[in-house]
Structure 1
Amino acid sequence: MFRSVLRPVALAAALMAALAGCGSSSHTNTARVNAAGSVDLSGITLTLGDQAHGLETLLDAAGALKGVPYKVTWAEFQGAAPLFQAMQSGKVDTGTAADLPTLQAISGGLKIKVVAAATANGSGTAILTQPGSPVKTVADLKGRTVVVSSAKGSIAEYLLAKALADAGLSYSDVHVEYLLPTAAQAAFNAKQIQIWATFGVYQDIAVEKGAQLLVDGRAGRTSGVGFISAAQSSIADPARKAAIADFLRRLAQAYAWTTTHAAQYAQVFVQKNGVSPSVARTVVSQGARALQPVTPQVVTEVQAVSDLMNHIGSLPSDVRVAGTVDTSLFPHALSQ
């Protein structure tokens, strides 16, 4: 399962394998909506896009999908770029990604809406160097090559851009290359990559093996916002929309469960993903603790991300974040 992230996998192969696992388009399923507006979801199959089994592990650990009135299949990806390609194909109903990859997809014409948000402290995105590297500060990056996972417009690229700006450098002061996380992980382990901007479990495994943490996304260097998005075609189907709304409610319950079951969550993470207990504990500690509606404050924070990345040319258009949001599926926090 998760052990595959430790091996290089080409983007095309990963995408095709994931799409094959999705089967035929989920939009061919049917569900009945009666005159009173109640929905029979038994004919719906939701295909949920995931990265590195993150949501799947969380929901399984919390038992949040027990008794769902619809069917669920998972589409697994290494990063946001192939996930959104699958959503473009109509094979996937929902996706999970950081703010910038979501904006990148929307900027490229993907017809999705942002339906919920989860905010972490930013520590799960970092720029790493090899043990003993002469690069000790962000200023030392000038003139060097930085490999960014997973593609142009990733959250790791935003961290690099923001850190450079904060250090008084321009984005053109470094040479940027892009590589999917598993391929970058293998190259970094072989010392073929000296400086790597990455995220999540890929980052945590590298640090456990001795990588130096140059800087992470805390202290405002990233927004820490992750988005759940849904295909507009899925939202347009009343029954499918109802199923997605139910999924979001269950996801909110799973996030709430982690606040009092962190140790149990970490144990499940080890079992399902084949990582060490210390890496699992780190991943859990870096994660969000609540699913929330996409509030005006979230919109403002993410708009700043859009503006900066458009300024350096990594976002084709300066996305107006407020216009990408649909709050009807998850209008209230779990406690409300």
Structure 2
Amino acid sequence: MAYHHLSPERRQILRVLGTTAFSWSLAGRYARAQGAAPVPGPEQLRIGYQKSAVNLVILKQQGVLERRFPGAKIQWLEFPAGPQLLEALSVGSLDFGLTGDSPPVFAQAAGKDLLYVGAEPPKPDSSAILVLADSPLQRLADLKGKRIALQKGSSAHYLLVRALDKAGLAWADIQPVYLAPADARAAFERKSVDAWAIWDPFYAATELTIQPRVLATGRDLSGNNSFYLAARPFVDKHPQALAVLFDELTRADQFAQDARKDAIKLIASFSGLDAGVVSLFIQRRPRSPVGLLNPRTVADQQRVADAFFKLGLIPRPVTVADIVWAPKAAEFARLART
């Protein structure tokens, strides 16, 4: 429709109304998708998540799973990082959760009984190695001998391993300081450490508030894959529930992509993060539909495991494929349709 004959004020009003109508249209389509038929499910479903788990947060805020699994007791448990989440999963306190690439490797090496059940595409721009703006460190090679904060066993752990390798440094050339994200940021700001390896949304929050310099992101270093893991008893008893979860998680991702402003408001209201922080970390996040692990993803994850074993950071070698849930494609499609 041509608006050139209207006053600037009228044109602005029509643009706003058009944008609002488009947003409501997207929300309406998502709401209709949420109306998918309820299915027989578990009596309880305990889900572990972090603030960066966009798809899970949207499902939580929209109450989707409560409608898909009527009668099930849905519990949502937040964790500061993947290692803590997988520890809860391994001791029977969780059924399902999302982590980065490194936590499952450490869990498998420790003999934890869990399964990779799904994956999202890589997010290489969503993690970084940071230094303060006035830091003398300019290159990755300058990390030699320096104190670097990181969450042990997290995706940032592997990012740092790869960064040191690229710089021609050994793990023994640095002083790792193992801290959870909140404690690491405090140490970083008071200059108790020289650098910090971290992921979104902590990366985005720090970037906007104290404007550090980025020595490296995951690009060309680490794909920063995201994995859904589940307790083996849950997988054995409720494979159809996993098919429903993947379907709804992928719908949630579509909502995050197509109704970006609404998704930012939803995530910000839940997490307490500033909308600007949420906007920044979602911008770095590619489309993230959820599916079964493919051979390439398993091979990427095996490289993570091999790197940690080579450095002596895990006690034994592990074969990632041993704990990958791999239903036949036709069977999984049947579960999704049922």
Task: Tell me, yes or no, whether TM beats 0.5.
Answer: yes
Question: 2:94, 2:123 → 1: CA distance?
Answer: 28
Where does residue 101 of structure 1 map in the other structure? Answer: 103
Deviations 1:315-336 (A, max 9, x none): 322221222211339846xx99
1:52 alignment partner, SS class: coil
Where does residue 287 of structure 1 map in the other structure? Answer: 285
Deviation at 1:189, TM superposition (A): 3.0
Question: 2:280, 2:328 → 1: CA distance?
Answer: 31
2:192 alignment partner, SS class: coil
Deviations 1:224-267 (A, max 9, x none): 21100110121222xx3332332222112212322212222112
Task: Say which one has the larger Rg.
Answer: 2
| Distance of aligned partners of 1:329 and 1:175 in 2 relative to their CA distance in 1, 3 Å threshold | farther
Where does residue 218 of structure 1 map in the other structure? Answer: 219
- Structure ranking higher in helix proportion: 2
Where does residue 73 of structure 1 map in the other structure? Answer: 75
Deviation at 1:45, TM superposition (A): 1.0
Where does residue 246 of structure 2 map in the other structure? Answer: 248
2:156 alignment partner, SS class: helix
| Distance of aligned partners of 1:224 and 1:131 in 2 relative to their CA distance in 1, 3 Å threshold | same
State whether residues 48 and 96 of structure 2, in contact with CA within 8 Å, keep that contact through their aligned partners in structure 1: yes
Percent identical across equivalent pairs? 27
Where does residue 179 of structure 1 map in the other structure? Answer: 179
State whether residues 90 and 112 of structure 2, in contact with CA within 8 Å, keep that contact through their aligned partners in structure 1: yes
Where does residue 113 of structure 1 map in the other structure? Answer: 115
Where does residue 306 of structure 1 map in the other structure? Answer: 305
Give the partner amino acid of 1:325.
V
Question: 2:218, 2:301 → 1: CA distance?
Answer: 14
Where does residue 227 of structure 2 map in the other structure? Answer: 227
Question: 2:328, 2:261 → 1: CA distance?
Answer: 31
Q: Which has the higher mean CA deviation after the structures are superposed, 154-163 or 184-193?
A: 184-193
Where does residue 262 of structure 2 map in the other structure? Answer: 264
Task: Give me the TM-score of the superposition, normalised by structure 2.
Answer: 0.80
Where does residue 155 of structure 1 map in the other structure? Answer: 155
State whether residues 97 and 228 of structure 1, in contact with CA within 8 Å, keep that contact through their aligned partners in structure 2: yes
2:99 alignment partner, SS class: strand
- Residue 139 (structure 1) aligned with residue 137 (structure 2): no
Deviations 1:246-299 (A, max 9, x none): 222211221232221222211222222222222111121233522122001111
Question: 2:283, 2:65 → 1: CA distance?
Answer: 23
Where does residue 322 of structure 1 map in the other structure? Answer: 321
Give the partner amino acid of 2:218.
G
| Distance of aligned partners of 1:235 and 1:60 in 2 relative to their CA distance in 1, 3 Å threshold | closer
State whether residues 59 and 254 of structure 1, in contact with CA within 8 Å, keep that contact through their aligned partners in structure 2: yes
Q: Which runs of 5+ in 1 are unaligned?
A: 1-38
Q: Which has the higher mean CA deviation after the structures are superposed, 137-146 or 94-103?
A: 94-103
Deviation at 1:66, TM superposition (A): 5.5
Question: 2:259, 2:302 → 1: CA distance?
Answer: 33
State whether residues 115 and 329 of structure 1, in contact with CA within 8 Å, keep that contact through their aligned partners in structure 2: no
State whether residues 113 and 325 of structure 1, in contact with CA within 8 Å, keep that contact through their aligned partners in structure 2: yes
Q: Which runs of 5+ in 2 are unaligned?
A: 1-38
Task: Tell me how large the CA RMSD over aligned residues is.
Answer: 2.4
Deviation at 1:48, TM superposition (A): 0.4
